[in-house]
Structure 1
Amino acid sequence: MTRHSSLKELPAALQTLEAEPIFVLRLSVKPIIVVGETPAANRRIGVVVSGSVEGEKISASVLEGSSDLLAVRSDGSTTLDARLILKTDDDVHISMTYYGIRQMSDEVKKRMDKGQEVDPASYYFRIAPTFEAPQGKYQWLNNILAVGVGHRLSTGPVYSVFEIK
C-alpha cells in the first residue's frame, strides 16, 4: 500500500458518511448589533430572543439570552459561534454550542440584505453543534457528532440538524 492510498482501498465503513435527521432548529434574533472592524474581523452579534427545536426524540424552546457571535472575514465569509440554552418540553435544560460558516456570492448577499427570498441551495451555510445534557433522557446528545444545514431568514436562521452515524 502506498503512503497515499485511495478512498476505494479503505473498508466500506470509511468510504461514506451516514446521517440521520434529529431536529429542526428555528431562531428568532433581534436586529444584529454591529461592533464593526476589529483586529480579527468585522464583528457582529446576534441576540436570540426565542426559538424552537422540533424532532422525533426532542422538542424544546430556545431561551432568551442565547447569542451568536458573527465574524465577517476578509474573504467575505461569515463564521458563527453560538451558545444556546434549550428547555425541553419536559423541563430539562440543555446547553447547545455550534460553530459554523456561511459563504455566498456578492449577488446572493445583496439580495439577502434587501430582504429578498433566496434559495438555500444558492449559498453555503453549515454548522457543527455540540451538546451538554444532564443524565437521563437526553444524555445521548452528549455522545454524538452533529452537523446542520442552514438558511437565513429575515427573522433569524433555520437549521436542519443531523447526527452523523
Structure 2
Amino acid sequence: MNETLSPAPPALDYLGRLEVHVAAPVEVGHTHAGQRRVIPITGGTFAGPRGRGQILAAGADFQLLRTPSEAFLDARYVVAMEDGARLFVTNAAYRTGAVEDIQALVRGEVVPPERIYFRCAPHFEVADTDEGAWGWLSTSIVIGSGQREPDRVIIDLWVVR
C-alpha cells in the first residue's frame, strides 16, 4: 500500500530589514497593462544578523496598478554593504488590499500594515569580487513581507532553507 507523506514546509532564516526611502511618484499614466508609475529610490538602510548596508540613490520601483485594489511592484536598487560588497537587488512584489486602503497608499497616506497584503521575492546579484561573503545570496530564495509608509518602504526578509 502506498502511503502519501506530508512534506515538511521549508524553514526560514531571518536575513534582515530593508528601509527603502522613496521620493514622490512619477506618474506615467494609464497604459494597456494598467496605471504605470515610477517611484524613485533615494536611499535607505539594510540591517540584519550578517551585516549592515546603505541603499544607494540609484534605483526605482516600477509600479503597475492593475486594478484599484492590486499592484505589481518591480523595484531595482543597490545596497552598499559595510564590508564593501555591493548587492544589486531586483525585487518583485505583489500588494493588495481593500480599494480604499490601496487608494490611500497611492495618495501617500498611512494605512495600518495589517490591512495590506504586501509580499515580495527579491533576487540578489553579487559582484564576483564579493562572492566570498555574499555569493550565497545569488543562489538562495529570499522572501519578504513589506509595509508602505509615506516616505519609505519597510521590508523584512527571510532566506528559505
* Pair in the same fold by TM > 0.5: yes
Q: Which structure features the higher share of strand residues?
A: 2
Offset, 1:31:
0.2
> Unaligned 5+ residue runs, structure 2?
none
Offset, 1:55:
0.3
CA pair 67-148 structure 1, distance change in 2 beyond 3 A: same
Q: SS of 2:67's equivalent?
A: coil
Which consecutive aligned stretches of 4+ in structure 1 deviate over 6 angstroms post-superposition?
none
The equivalent position to 2:27 in structure 1, one of 24, 34, 57, is 34
The equivalent position to 1:151 in structure 2, one of 147, 150, 155, is 147
Give matches, 1:76-155, under 5 Å.
76-113=69-106, 116-134=109-127, 135-155=131-151
Q: What per-residue deviation string (whole Å, max 9, x for no partner) do you get for residues 94-127 of structure 1?
A: 1111101100102323444565533211110001
Structure 1 CA distance for aligned equivalents of residues 60 and 9 of structure 2:
34
Structure 1 CA distance for aligned equivalents of residues 104 and 60 of structure 2:
25
Report the TM-score when normalising by structure 1: 0.87
State the identity %. 25
Partner of 2:66: 73
Partner of 1:58: 51
Q: What per-residue deviation string (whole Å, max 9, x for no partner) do you get for residues 133-165 of structure 1?
A: 132211111111000000000112100001111
CA pair 35-114 structure 1, distance change in 2 beyond 3 A: closer
Aligned residues: 158
Report the TM-score when normalising by structure 2: 0.89
1:45 lines up with 2:30 in the alignment: no
Partner of 2:4: 9
| Superposition CA RMSD, Å | 2.0
